[in-house]
Amino acid sequence: MDILTLFVVVPILTVLVLVFAKGLKQVRIISLVGMLVQLGMAINLIFAYLKERAINKDIMVFTQDYTWYESFNIHYAIGVDAISGVLIALTAIVVVAGIFISWKIDDLPKEFFITLIILSAGVFGFFISLDLFTLFVFYEIAVIPMYLLIGIWGSGPKEFSAMKLTLMLMAASALLSVGIFGIYFNSNADGGALTFNILEIAQVNIPVAAQNLFFPFVFIGFAVIGALFPFHTWSPSGHASAPTAVSMLHAGVLMKLGGYGVFRIAMYLLPQGAINWTDFFLVLTTIGVIYGALAAVMQKDLKYINAYASVSHLSLVLFALLMLNKTAWTGAIIQSLSHGLLTALFFALIGMVYGRTHTRDIAKLGGIMKILPFIGSVYVITGLAYLGLPGFSGFVAEMNIFVGAFEHTDTFRRILTIIVVSSIVVTAVYILRMVGKIMMGPLVNEEHAELPKATWYEKVGLVLLMIPVVFIGMMPFGLSEMIKESVTPFLERLI
């Protein structure tokens, strides 16, 4: 079995074993072991990639191709470059952290972990796919379990939120499938057979008219899950209703599928369409960045704050992708990583605070730092990292994006760039407002004077997420070089 297929097989095996597990203890041990194997494989993949890259200069390495459905030329084609490699590592980390955070889940634990792991299998499959059809299938596998996870294990108006989330994402999938079939039926533009294979389509010059037609379908199809304004409204209510681990996985990983899909499919396969449509979408993403940040300032629910913050930060990813140059693209990928880790941290922390105080209303919280020093400290550090403090991953990502965006000299992009840069101030406002209100200050509610301290599994989960944040922030050189190299073929398509 090749190194990549294992990423799908291990979760499936874990699920199969889980079916026979009894009791919470067995379930979580099995899930943890399975996902730790996955994490080990992901780290191994990064090193194997670097080793392979030294000798293999192909766009994708570890490629495999199996025919799946011959008459439509559908293959199970897989391969990774640095971009998918690092996102796989991100997914593995967030999933393991999510399992630690859900250590004590008491409501249908077996089913919960099974659904969670199926979801992660979809995500892993998505990142390794090189075939549009396979990729789409894995995308759906990743999105659908979300409905169950929110609808069954959620809180508040969970059915409504789950329904809204799933329906909006399904509507986007419909657009996406139109776009994918549009690409498929134009993939013989230079002669040759119709194909779903991304690398093969990348060799074809799809007619410009078709590119212009299908680019918005693919872009919006993916960007909805990447929280593109005005299609972001599923995210706040969805996150607010979802259980902690699901919020983490959703904001941390699933929303990254949007940016990745836009980049890998819309930008790579429809470069001309991308050039022609950037102005329009740049305006939307710029609105998203500043709008999400300002909306976050006004929220009262911790999860809503974080959800709108995610809208802002992920719009930044799309904004950077639309800037169509190497520096901004590198920034977009690092921002995906960084946001994935940081937002997972935030949701984990919010979950811990909520689990102890049973409220997420910032007016009813205050002075938690004194009672929960560990959680409080990590909260403050995460907040500082989130607002782009140097030494953490967010800074590296944002600076790449800003420098890249500034490479465009036209007034239109300059203005948008400056608007987007100004979001760092608004980010500081809402982060400090939240941190200052709930962690610092006097104790608001006397009932919170005695709260259980952070347990070992919570600490492990948080530390696990914090390590890469600091690592990327301190030593970004290797990562950014690795991503830059993988971004180059995308850049060549634009010319």
Partner 1 sequence: MNYSYVIAIPLIPLALFLLLGLFSKKIPPSISGWIGSLGLGTSFALSLYTAYHYYIEAKVNGIYQTFVYKQTWLAFSDKLHIDMGVLIDPISVMMLIVVTTISFMVHLYSRGYMKGDDGYTRFFAYLALFSFSMLGLVLATNLFQIYIFWELVGASSFLLIGYYYTKPSAVAAAKKAFIVTRFADLGFLIGILVVSYYSGTFDFSELNNPEGFMISNWASTSFMGLSVFTWGLLLIFMGGAGKSAMLPFHIWLPDAMEGPTPVSALIHAATMVVAGVYLVARLFPAFYFVEDGFALTIVAYVGAISSLFAAIIALTQNDIKRVLAFSTMSQIGYMMLALGVSKYDGHEGLGFMASMFHLFTHAMFKALLFLAAGSVIHAIHSNYLKDMGGLRKYMPVTHITFLIAALSISGVPGFAGFFSKDEILAAAYEHDMLIYISSVAVAGLTALYMFRLYFGIFWGKDTQYEHIPHESPWSMTLPMLFLAVMSVVGGYIHFSEFVSADHIPFEAHLNYSLAAIASGVGILGIIIAYILYKKETNLPDKISNTFGVTYKWAYHKFYFDEIYLFVTKRIIFGLVAAPMAWFDKYVVDATMVSIGNMTVSFSNKIKGLQSGKFQDYAMAFISGGVILAIVIFYLWL
* Residue among 79 and 238 whose Cβ is closer to partner 1: 238
User: Least CB distance from residue 270 to partner 1, whole Å?
Assistant: 25
- 363 Cβ partners below 8 Å, 6+ apart? 300, 444
CB of 254 to partner 1, least distance (A): 19
Element (H, E) at 77: strand 74-80
CB of 477 to partner 1, least distance (A): 6
Place of tokens 């909260």: 379
Give min distance, CB of 327 to partner 1, in A. 5
Eight-state DSSP code of residue 243 = -
269, 183 Cβ separation under 8 angstroms: yes
Q: How far is the CB of 69 from partner 1 (least distance, A)?
A: 32
CB of 97 to partner 1, least distance (A): 20
Whose Cβ is closer to partner 1: residue 50's or residue 415's? 415
Q: How far is the CB of 147 from partner 1 (least distance, A)?
A: 14
Q: Hey, what are 386's tokens?
A: 């989130």
Rounded to 5 degrees, what are φ and ψ at 102? Answer: -90, 25
101-117: buried (b, 16+ CB within 10 Å) or exposed (e) per residue?
bbbebeeebbebbbbbb
Tokens of 317: 């990813």
Which is closer to partner 1, CB of 68 or CB of 406? 406
Nearer to partner 1 among residue 53 and residue 64 (C-beta): 53
Q: Tokens in use for 178?
A: 């139109």
> Closer to partner 1 at the Cβ: 191 or 230?
230
Q: Using CB under 8 A as the criterion, which residues of the chain lie in contact with partner 1 when the complex forms? A: 163-164, 167-168, 229-234, 237, 291, 294-295, 297-299, 326-327, 367, 369-370, 380, 384, 387-391, 395-396, 399-400, 402-404, 406-407, 418, 421-422, 424-425, 428-429, 432-433, 436, 439-443, 476-477, 480-481, 484
Minimum Å gap between C-beta 285 and partner 1 is 15
Query: If we measure between CA atoms, which residue out of 178, 179, 201 comes closest to residue 190?
Result: 201
DSSP class of 410: S
**Number of neighbouring beta carbons within 10 Å of residue 202:** 17
Our measurement of the distance from residue 259's CA atom to the centroid of its chain's CA atoms, rounded to an integer in Å, reads 8
Say how far apart CA 269 and CA 292 lie, in whole Å.
29
In the block, tokens 């930060």 appear at 313
Beta bridge partners of 75: 67
Q: Please identify, using beta-carbon distances, which residue of 13 and 403 lies nearer to partner 1.
A: 403
Helix axes 234-241, 132-153, angle to 10 degrees: 50
> Closer CB to partner 1, residue 48 or residue 389?
389
Separation of alpha carbons 196 and 312, rounded Å: 33
Q: Which is closer to partner 1, CB of 211 or CB of 336?
A: 336
Residue 373 beta carbon to partner 1: minimum distance, rounded to whole angstroms: 8
107 vs 450, which CB is nearer to partner 1? 450
